[in-house]
Amino acid sequence: MVAGLPGNQQSAIGILFDFLDSLDFLHSLMAIDKRRLRAWAKKLQINIGNLNLLEQALTHRSFLGESNGTRSNERLEFLGDAVLGLVVCEYLYRTYEDRTEGELAKAKAVAVSEPVLADASKHLGLDKMILMSAGEEASGGRDRLSILADTFEAIVAVVYLDSGLDNAKEFCLRALESILIDIERQEHIRDYKSLLQELTQGRFKKAPRYVVIKEQGADHDKTFLVEARLDGDVLGVGTGKSKKQAEQAAALEALEKCRTQLQSEHAKE
**Active-site residues: which are they?**
81, 153
Tell me the residue ranges of DSSP E strands in 88-178: none
**Is the Cβ–Cβ distance between 147 and 132 less than 8 Å?**
yes
Contact 141, 59 (CB under 8 A): no
Residue 211, by phi and psi: left (phi above 0), alpha (psi -120 to 50) or beta? beta
What would you report as the CA-atom Rg of the chain, rounded to the nearest whole angstrom? Answer: 25
Strands 233-240 and 209-216: unpaired
SS3 212: strand
Question: Which H helix or E strand runs over 211?
Answer: strand 209-216
